[in-house]
Chains A and B, each alone.
Chain A
Amino acid sequence: MPEAAVRVAGGAPATAPLLAVRNLQAWYGESHVLHGIDFDVAPGEVVTLLGRNGAGKTTTLRSIIGILRKRTGSIVFDGRETIRMASRHIAQLGIGYVPEERGIFSSLSVAENLVLPPQVKPGGMTTEQIFTLFPNLRERLSSQGTKLSGGEQQMLAIGRILRTGANLLLLDEPTEGLAPVIVEQIGRTIARLKQDGFTIVLVEQNFRFAATVADRHYVVEQGRVVDMIRNDELDANIDKLHGYLGV
């Protein structure tokens, strides 16, 4: 497996990566969950992590943002090694995180949720621009955050990190449990964010959705990256991918 991982990392585009993850290992207490995650993300790329339930995709994102402190290996973001940093310092480098459970605060209104994450860099979107992306939010500003529908909560969770100036977005299954029209809207949003120059790591189970937005896909299996498939080679590799995902 380690050779495969190296080969995978070597398959990334030639530009200096914005995010480079090497031999990332992570633990929940005594339980060793990540056994060597390797991948690169170039500036402006949308890259997915695909894999079965429990493969370690969420854990990978948690390790990158620093919520999971027990981790080793190397994570270099924008030229800075972050493996020993606390999550608030990592966020301040310009990484925005949307957790799998969305993390909308019930004791905050929609408006308060939206402006909660502080600015970390110049160049973030204005709230006006965010409302253009997600018109639903404008109508619901004074509602309690968790009174929103699942789709609206997902929009709020994405919208609130667009204000901060973060240029790398970590999105954990943004389409999970949402109606097809909402999934489409999220897809359009991701495409739009890519146009605007955001770099995105997207965790997905739904690779049909992933294929509509991503440049490359990394396959995670039992805490390791086992393969990398370019989106334009997806059709040729579809049987292999089905095998990985067990569909």
Chain B
Amino acid sequence: MSELLGVPSQVLFGQLLLGLINGSFYAVLSLGLAIIFGLLNIINFAHGAQYMMGAFVAWMLLQYAGVGYWWALLAAPVVVGITGVVIERLLLARLRNADHLYGLLLTFGLALIIQGIFRNEYGVSGLPYGIPPELAGGRNLGFMFLPNYRAWVVLASLTLCLATWFVIERTRLGAYLRAATENPTLVQAFGINVPLLVTLTYGFGVALAAFAGVLAAPIYSVNPNMGADMIIVVFAVVVIGGMGSILGSIVTGFALGIVEGLTKVFYPEASSTVIFVIMILVLLVKPAGLFGRAA
């Protein structure tokens, strides 16, 4: 067996891949949080629950309606996104002028309620969700074995992140979004429907989380706590990247997944804390985050 840096290459690349997978989820989830925070000034604590809902909707579609993975990948974000739109219109819209602590508390409460309902209905043991047959198996790359589904997760996440970045940075709709993030009052005074933009943005951010949830369903078991476990790390990612920075959240998401993977190889004891250690260091040196602008 060949070795790299004193570690069997199979192990090294295996952990790198695992890191990249986690990084994909971090990136998609923190991207959604960043977009929502930018425009709504709300730290969406329900994001983890919405990611979990995405996985559950995929599972339910299969269980109760026989709808498979590919359609679920489309339908679950739409369904969960619509619940986001309703939440924004009914609840968050009332907090528009309040301190963002209120938004955090409200979405935190929502997360607890949503998780509670799912725990009540489905227990915590986890429900299986199979890998779609088209993506079963894998290929031997010589230096490692690459499961097809995992390659797909990385590819799909990366594509989604880049597409979102493109829309925000390079299109007219994106210009509205950036402008409204900076100065919603003035954008409104130009005749643009900012409240609608805000609602759709929240819905889209939530849909991103649900998309990640569907991607995750075949990898992790579908269970009510999957979001709560994930979201704590994602918040650390967001803090490191800089709250509200689009590109920052994407790059930081993937990078920290890889850092985590490498830590598992070289110093496994620290693998579950390394992201938080980095967070503390970044906060000490650059409180606005690596890509953030000082407030």
Residues in A lying within 8 Å of B, measured CB to CB: 65-67, 86-92, 97, 99, 103, 105-108, 112, 115-118, 120, 161, 164
Is B194 an interface residue, CB under 8 A from the partner? Answer: yes
How far in angstroms is the closest Cβ of chain A from B37?
Answer: 15
Q: Are B172 and A115 in contact (CB under 8 A)?
A: yes
Query: For residue B194, which residues in chain A have a CB less than 8 angstroms away from its CB?
Result: 88
- CA A86 – CA B178 in complex, angstroms? 21
> A118 is contacted by which of B178, B182, B186, B191 (Cβ under 8 Å)?
B191
Is B176 an interface residue, CB under 8 A from the partner? Answer: yes
Residues in B lying within 8 Å of A, measured CB to CB: 172, 175-176, 178-179, 181-183, 185-194
Q: Are A67 and B189 in contact (CB under 8 A)?
A: yes
Interface of A (DSSP majority class)? loop
Q: Are A88 and B188 in contact (CB under 8 A)?
A: yes
Query: For residue A99, which residues in chain B have a CB less than 8 angstroms away from its CB?
Result: 186
- CA A116 – CA B175 in complex, angstroms? 7
Query: For residue B190, which residues in chain A have a CB less than 8 angstroms away from its CB?
Result: 88, 91, 97, 116-118, 161, 164
Query: For residue A91, which residues in chain B have a CB less than 8 angstroms away from its CB?
Result: 188-191
Number of A-B contacts (CB under 8 A): 60
How far in angstroms is the closest Cβ of chain B from A158?
Answer: 14
Query: For residue B186, which residues in chain A have a CB less than 8 angstroms away from its CB?
Result: 67, 97, 99, 103
Closest residue of A by beta carbon distance from B178: A107
How far in angstroms is the closest Cβ of chain B from A70?
Answer: 13
How far in angstroms is the closest Cβ of chain A from B173?
Answer: 11
Q: Are A107 and B182 in contact (CB under 8 A)?
A: yes
> A108 is contacted by which of B178, B185, B188, B189 (Cβ under 8 Å)?
B178
Evaluate whether A87 and B178 lie within 8 angstroms (CB atoms) in the complex, with A105-B183, A115-B172 already known.
Answer: no
Evaluate whether A120 and B191 lie within 8 angstroms (CB atoms) in the complex, with A108-B175, A112-B175, A115-B172 already known.
Answer: yes
> B179 is contacted by which of A66, A105, A161 (Cβ under 8 Å)?
A105
How far in angstroms is the closest Cβ of chain B from A177?
Answer: 19
- CA A166 – CA B169 in complex, angstroms? 27
Q: Are A116 and B191 in contact (CB under 8 A)?
A: no
Most chain-B CB neighbours within 10 Å: which of A66, A89, A108, A161? A108
